[in-house]
Chain A
Amino acid sequence: MNYVDSGLKVVGTRPIRPDGADKVTGRAVFAADTRAPGMLWGKVLRSPHAHARIVSIDTSKAEALKGVLAVVTAADFPDIRSEEAFVGEGPMNFRDLALNCMARDKVLYEGHALGAVAASTQEIADQALALIDVTYEVLPHVIDVEAAMAPDAPILHDDMFTGGVDPKPTKPSNVAKVVTFKKGDIEAGFKEAEVIVEGTYTTQPVHQAYIEPHACLATYAPDGQIQIHSSSQGHFMVRAYTAKLLGVNLSDIRVNPAEIGGGFGGKTLVYLEPLAVMLSKKSGRTVKMQMTREDVFRASGPTSGAWMEVKIGAMKDGTIVAAKQVLKYQAGAFAGSPIGPGCMCGFAMYDLPNVHVVGYDVVSNRPKVAAYRAPGAPITSFAVESLMDDLALKLGIDPLTLREKNAAKNGTKTHYGPTHQNIGFTAVLAAVKSHPHWKTPLKEGQGRGLAAGFWFNIGGESSASVHVNEDGSVTAATGSPDIGGSRASIGMMVAEVLGVPATTVRTIVADTASIGFTHVTGGSRVTFATGMAATQAAEKVVEDLKRRAAQKWDIPVEAVEWKDGAAYPAGSNAGAFEPLDLATLALKAARTGGPLIAEVSLNAQGAGPGFGAHICDVTVDKETGHVTIDRYTAIQDVGKAIHPSYVEGQIQGGAAQGIGWALNEEYIYNAKGQMENPGFLDYRVPVASDVPMIEAVLVEVPNPRHPFGARGVGEVPIVPPMAAIANAIRGATGVRLPDLPMSPPKVRAALDARK
C-alpha cells in the first residue's frame, strides 16, 4: 500500500526517539560498557613497519607470563582461499579480510595485526604483547597512489595482475583493476565543444572518525556455541564474516547488537571479533577487546586518497557535450577502493551525451580502506564540481544556471547504465534559487560556493516483525542496528499503519537468532528497506486484525476497514457495530487465532537516488590562509522525511564531515610509512566552534517505490561540501585550490603564488 498522498498523522512529526532516555542518562549499553564474570582483556600486536616479511613469530615468552591465558597468531586461523562475496557497500574478498584481521607471511601497513593475547588485566595483556618476539624483514614501502603505480614501485601482492585490462598482464603490479564507463563518442564531443576546461585534483585519505572505537565481547562455549556482543553496522555481517574467517556454521554464532557509537561505513566489516572468539576458544573465558584511538586510525579503514583528472567540453550557451575523467583511488593494503562508485557518481547528476570515465583501484602500504559515507562519491565530486565552477566562470554563466541547464531529469540515461526515474535534482536546484541564502549579498571579502552531489542509495535484504502485545501496545523488531535514530522512524511507520500514536510502538533491534537476515545499516537503506519490511509486517497485522473483527461481526473481511487504531464496519451496509480497537482485539487474541504477529523478510528494490546542493559562504584570512565558514545551507531531496529532525541531523552531520574533509582532515605519513597523526589532536575533525548553524532544507520528491515515499538520505550530504568550499574560496580570493585538504598553509601558498 502507498501512503504518500494520504493524511499522515505520525510520519512527518517529531516524537522523542524511543532509545533517547537511555542515551541522555548514560544507560545505553555500547559494546565496551559490557562486562562478564571472569572476563579477560584481549589486545592486538600490530606491525611497526609499513611493509615487511614476517620471518618468525615466537609467542612462548608471552604465553609463559602469569595472567596470560591465550595467544593467537595466523597459525590459529584457517587459511582462506580467495573467494568473492558481496556484502556491504563493496565487494569483499574473504581471503583479504582474513589477512587484514591477522597478517600471514607479510605485514602490509603500519598497524597491521599479526598477533593477539588475552590476559586477566589490560596491563598484563600489554606486557604480553611486548614479549611476543617478531623477526621482520623490512621491505621498501609505497604510500602515494601515483608512486604505487610507477613501474619500479614495491609490489604488495605477487599475485595481483590488473583486472579489466586486455591482454591480462603477466607481471604483478599494485593496480588491482581498471574500470571503464563510456557513453556516446567522447572524441566527437570534444571536437564539437566550443569551450573546454580541465583540471587535476588530489585528495588525501580521511577517516570516518566515529567517536566510539571498535569494541566487542566474545564467548566460545565448550560445545562450540559462540556469543558475540559487538558495536557494528550489521550483526548479521559480523556473524557471516566471523563464521567465514573461523570456518564455523552460521547457526553456531549468535551476535547481539550493542548500541553503536558512529560508523559511517567504517563498521561494516570486522577487525576484532574473529580474534576475540579465537582467544575465547583458547582460554575458555569471555574476552573483551577494544581498539585504542591510535589503533582506530592506524588499523581501521579510512577512505581512499586519490589523484584525478577531469576535462569538460561545453557549448557557449552552457550545454555540456563532453565529459571525461581519469581517477586513481588508493585501496590501502588490499584491493577494494570505491573506484566503481567514484566513476559512476561524478557525472551522474547531469544529462550528458558523451562521457568517458576510467578508474584505477591501486593498493599501497596503508590500512585497507573501508566504506565512508557515499564511498567514492565525495572524492570524484570534489573534482567535477570544482571544474563545473571553473566552466561557469569561463562561460560567464551563473553556476546555478549551468547546473540547471545540464541537470539530470526523469528519463536521463546515466553513463553507467540505469535511467533516472522519479528523481528530484531539478526540484533541489529550484530550491537553491529561491533560498534566501542564495540571494543574500556577500560582505566585503566573502566568497560563495555552490556544489551538487548524488548517491545511488541501496535497498537490499531486511527483516522486521511486528507484535501486538496482549494489552494492545506494540513491539516492532528489526535486524538493523540504529546509528542515527532509525528505531524512531521505523516505529513511526508501524504506528502510522496501525493508526496508533508513536508512543504505542516500541522498536528494538533484535539479535541474529531472533529476527530474519538483515543486510548492514549502510547505503542509506534502513528507512527505505527495513522501513518497507516493517510497514509490510504492520500491514499483515492489520489484515489479521480485520479478519478477527470480521469473524466476530460475522461479516466478510472486505466489509471491515481499519482506521485510527480500530476496526470499523466499512459503510452502514456492513452493520452497525461498535469499533474494535487494538487493545480489545489483542486481549482476545488467543481465542481468535493466537498471537497477533507478523514478520516480513524482503529484498527491497526501487531505492531512489538522492541529490543535494550546498551553498557555502566563507571568509579567507589572506595572511594566514585560515578559512572561516560563515554560512552553510544544505538542500537535499529526501523523498519523504519520516522523522524530519533525524533527516536534518543526517544532512547536518554529513555536511560537517565534508567541512572537515575540505579544510583540515588528512593522514600524514613520515618517511617510514608510519602515520604521524593517529589521534584527535592532530587528525583535525571539526569542533563546535569551527562550524556555524547548518541549515538543512528538505525537498520532498516522493520515491514511489516506498510506501511512504522515503529515499535514503544519510550519504548524499557528504558529497558536495568540499567543492562548495573550494568554490567559495575561489569566490573570495580568485584562487582555485585543487588539492585537499585546503589547509591554511596551502591557501596562503596559493595566494602568494598568484602575486
Chain B
Amino acid sequence: MAKTYVSTTINGESSEFLCETQQTLLDVLRDVVGLTGSKEGCASGDCGACSVILDGRLVCSCLVLGVEAEGKTVTTIEGIANGEKLHPVQQKFLEHAALQCGFCTPGLIVATKALLDENPNPTETEARYWLAGNLCRCTGYDKVIRAVMDAAAELRGETVG
C-alpha cells in the first residue's frame, strides 16, 4: 500500500508527513519529522522513554501508529520548554540532579508534566505510581521524585523564585 498522508499538530505547529501503516508515531517523530528527543528504549510500551502527550493524554508513542496522529495534537519533549525558557519541571530536574545519563529524561519530563497538569498536588506515592511506566536505571528515582514534588510546589506558587 502507498504511504498515508498525515496532517497533525506537533508542539503547536502544523506538521504534515507521509508514513507507512506499520510505522509507529515514535518512528515518525524520530525518522520522518526529525524530532529525536523521544527515545526508543524497548519499542513495546514497557519503558516510557518514548512518552508524548496526545490530545492531552500521556501515551507511549511506540504504541500509537503514525497514521493515528491525523488531526490530533502531539506534545513532545521538544515542546515542553517555552523557547529558551525552561519549564519548571525541566529546571527542577536540573537543580535536583534528577538525571545521570539523560536517556530516560525526556520521557520522565513529559510524563511529569502530564501528571501535574492532571493533579497539581500529588503525594509522593501518587507520583511514584504515575511514573511507574518510566524506567530509569541510573538514579534509583530518588532525585527524580524530589524534582517532581518540588516542581509541583513551584507550579502551585508555593516556592519563592
Q: Are B43 and A649 in contact (CB under 8 A)?
A: no
Is A689 engaged at the interface, CB distance under 8 Å to the other chain?
A: yes
Task: Please name all residues of chain A whose beta carbon is closer than 8 Å to the beta carbon of B131 when the two chains form the complex.
Answer: 688
Identify which of B22, B41, B140 contacts A211 (C-beta below 8 A).
B41
Task: Please name all residues of chain B whose beta carbon is closer than 8 Å to the beta carbon of A688 when the two chains form the complex.
Answer: 127-129, 131-132, 134, 136, 141, 144-145
* Least distance between B133 CB and chain A CB atoms (Å): 8
Complex Cα distance A691/B136, Å? 12
Q: Tell me the residues in window 91-136 of chain B with beta carbons closer than 8 Å to chain A beta carbons.
A: 93-97, 99-106, 109, 125, 127-129, 131-136
Q: Tell me the residues in window 72-89 of chain B with beta carbons closer than 8 Å to chain A beta carbons.
A: 76-78, 80-81, 86
Q: Are B141 and A656 in contact (CB under 8 A)?
A: yes
Q: Are A646 and B36 in contact (CB under 8 A)?
A: no
Q: Are A687 and B135 in contact (CB under 8 A)?
A: yes
Q: Are A30 and B134 in contact (CB under 8 A)?
A: no
Task: Please name all residues of chain B whose beta carbon is closer than 8 Å to the beta carbon of A35 when the two chains form the complex.
Answer: 31
Is B42 engaged at the interface, CB distance under 8 Å to the other chain?
A: yes
Complex Cα distance A290/B22, Å? 19
Q: Are A211 and B136 in contact (CB under 8 A)?
A: yes
Complex Cα distance A24/B102, Å? 7
Q: Tell me the residues in window 14-60 of chain B with beta carbons closer than 8 Å to chain A beta carbons.
A: 20, 22, 30-31, 35-44, 46-47, 49
Complex Cα distance A29/B39, Å? 11
Q: Are A211 and B100 in contact (CB under 8 A)?
A: no
Is A12 engaged at the interface, CB distance under 8 Å to the other chain?
A: no
Interface extent on B, as a size class? 35 or more
Q: Are A657 and B103 in contact (CB under 8 A)?
A: no
Q: Are A293 and B42 in contact (CB under 8 A)?
A: yes
Interface-forming stretch among A13-21, A163-171, A434-442?
A13-21
- Residue ID in chain B nearest A645 by CB atoms: B97
Q: Are A261 and B143 in contact (CB under 8 A)?
A: no
* Least distance between B119 CB and chain A CB atoms (Å): 15
Q: Tell me the residues in window 126-158 of chain B with beta carbons closer than 8 Å to chain A beta carbons.
A: 127-129, 131-146
Known A26-B36, A293-B42; contact A261-B97, beta-carbon cutoff 8 A: no
Complex Cα distance A213/B96, Å? 26
Is A28 engaged at the interface, CB distance under 8 Å to the other chain?
A: yes
Q: Tell me the residues in window 187-234 of chain A with beta carbons closer than 8 Å to chain B beta carbons.
A: 208-213
- Residue ID in chain A nearest B27 by CB atoms: A122
Known A26-B77, A261-B101, A688-B132; contact A293-B138, beta-carbon cutoff 8 A: no
Is A685 engaged at the interface, CB distance under 8 Å to the other chain?
A: yes
* Least distance between B56 CB and chain A CB atoms (Å): 20
Task: Please name all residues of chain A whose beta carbon is closer than 8 Å to the beta carbon of B140 when the two chains form the complex.
Answer: 649, 652-657, 686, 691, 694
Complex Cα distance A180/B104, Å? 42
Q: Are A211 and B135 in contact (CB under 8 A)?
A: yes
Interface extent on A, as a size class? 35 or more
Q: Are A16 and B100 in contact (CB under 8 A)?
A: no
Task: Please name all residues of chain A whose beta carbon is closer than 8 Å to the beta carbon of B61 when the two chains form the complex.
Answer: none
Known A20-B94, A28-B102, A649-B138; contact A211-B78, beta-carbon cutoff 8 A: no
Is B8 engaged at the interface, CB distance under 8 Å to the other chain?
A: no
- Residue ID in chain A nearest B105 by CB atoms: A23
Q: How many A-B residue pairs have CB under 8 A?
A: 179
Known A212-B103, A261-B103; contact A25-B37, beta-carbon cutoff 8 A: yes
Task: Please name all residues of chain A whose beta carbon is closer than 8 Å to the beta carbon of B132 when the two chains form the complex.
Answer: 687-689
Task: Please name all residues of chain B whose beta carbon is closer than 8 Å to the beta carbon of A680 when the two chains form the complex.
Answer: 41-42, 44, 46-47, 135
- Residue ID in chain B nearest A643 by CB atoms: B97
Is A45 engaged at the interface, CB distance under 8 Å to the other chain?
A: no
Is A679 engaged at the interface, CB distance under 8 Å to the other chain?
A: yes
Is A552 engaged at the interface, CB distance under 8 Å to the other chain?
A: no
Complex Cα distance A259/B100, Å? 11
Known A261-B103, A649-B100; contact A33-B36, beta-carbon cutoff 8 A: yes
Task: Please name all residues of chain A whose beta carbon is closer than 8 Å to the beta carbon of B38 when the two chains form the complex.
Answer: 26
Q: Are A484 and B101 in contact (CB under 8 A)?
A: yes
Q: Are A211 and B44 in contact (CB under 8 A)?
A: no
Task: Please name all residues of chain A whose beta carbon is closer than 8 Å to the beta carbon of B37 when the two chains form the complex.
Answer: 25-27
Identify which of A25, A259, A679, A696 contacts B81 (C-beta below 8 A).
A25
- Residue ID in chain A nearest B34 by CB atoms: A35
Q: Are B94 and A17 in contact (CB under 8 A)?
A: yes
Complex Cα distance A654/B139, Å? 8
In this complex, the member of B37, B44, B97 whose beta carbon has the largest number of chain A beta carbons within 10 angstroms is: B97
- Residue ID in chain B nearest A660 by CB atoms: B137
Q: Are A653 and B139 in contact (CB under 8 A)?
A: yes
Q: Are A23 and B102 in contact (CB under 8 A)?
A: yes
Task: Please name all residues of chain B whose beta carbon is closer than 8 Å to the beta carbon of A23 when the two chains form the complex.
Answer: 99, 102, 105
Complex Cα distance A264/B47, Å? 18
Task: Please name all residues of chain A whose beta carbon is closer than 8 Å to the beta carbon of B103 when the two chains form the complex.
Answer: 30, 210-212, 259, 261-262
Task: Please name all residues of chain A whose beta carbon is closer than 8 Å to the beta carbon of B99 when the two chains form the complex.
Answer: 20, 23-24
* Least distance between B61 CB and chain A CB atoms (Å): 13
- Known A-B contacts: A26-B37, A123-B20. Give 16 more (CB < 8 A): A20-B94, A26-B76, A30-B103, A123-B22, A211-B101, A212-B39, A212-B41, A261-B39, A262-B103, A293-B47, A649-B140, A656-B141, A679-B44, A688-B129, A688-B141, A693-B142
- The 3 A-B pairs of least Cβ separation, nearest first, read A26-B37, A261-B103, A656-B140
Could you list 19 examples of A-B contacts with CB < 8 Å? Answer: A16-B94, A20-B94, A24-B93, A24-B102, A25-B37, A25-B80, A25-B86, A30-B39, A123-B22, A212-B103, A293-B43, A484-B101, A645-B96, A650-B100, A652-B141, A685-B135, A686-B141, A688-B145, A689-B129
